[in-house]
Structure 1
């Protein structure tokens, strides 16, 4: 059950982190309304709290794992919202990052 909770938190936190950044990007880079940047800041703050809910108490390990989730999640977000089509190299890189997440979070400990 702990692994399922952790994976769910990674997924929700990825949406918050990527979505918050995307909202700010839309406001600043795409000349969308200013309040999107404000909403993005709030959503990014929510990401920080979600990351703190992970069962592991090892901050560095959790944040490193979020990095891998962020890489793969960003590609998925770009495909869904920006019409991005990943290359084989993009997919390979995301797969390697997700494998790293599995090792970092759920692999053997010393």
Structure 2
């Protein structure tokens, strides 16, 4: 159950951080304005809060593992929001990152 909770929190954190960064990007690069930038900043703050809800109490471990989730999530966000088409190397890299997440977060520790 803790693993499922952890995975759900990683997905929620990815949605908040990647979505927040995307909103800021849209506000600045696509000239959509301060409302988009402000919404992005709120989402980025929410990401920081969600990360604290992970069952593991080690900041470095959580952020290191989240890095892998961020890589895969960013590619997925690009596909959905911007029509990005990852190539086989993008997909292979994302899978390697997710394998790293599994080792960092869920390997048995003594």
TM-score, normalised by the number of residues in structure 2: 0.98
1:63 matched to which residue of 2? 63
Q: For 1:40-59, what aligned pairs fall within 5 Å after superposition?
A: 40-59=40-59
Aligned-CA RMSD value:
0.7
1:78 matched to which residue of 2? 78
CA displacement at 1:108 relative to structure 2: 3.0
In the alignment, structure 1 segments of 5+ residues that lack a partner are: none
Structure 2: how far apart are the matches of 1:6 and 1:53?
Answer: 9
TM-score, normalised by the number of residues in structure 1: 0.98
Q: For 1:22-41, what aligned pairs fall within 5 Å after superposition?
A: 22-41=22-41
CA displacement at 1:34 relative to structure 2: 1.4
Asked if residue 91 in structure 1 is aligned to residue 91 in structure 2, the reply is yes
In the alignment, structure 2 segments of 5+ residues that lack a partner are: none
2:108 matched to which residue of 1? 108
Task: List structure 1 runs of 4+ shifted beyond 6 angstroms.
Answer: none
Alpha-carbon displacement from aligned partner over 1:55-80 (angstroms, at most 9, x marks no partner): 00010000001100000000000000
Structure 2: how far apart are the matches of 1:108 and 1:90?
Answer: 29
Asked if residue 18 in structure 1 is aligned to residue 15 in structure 2, the reply is no
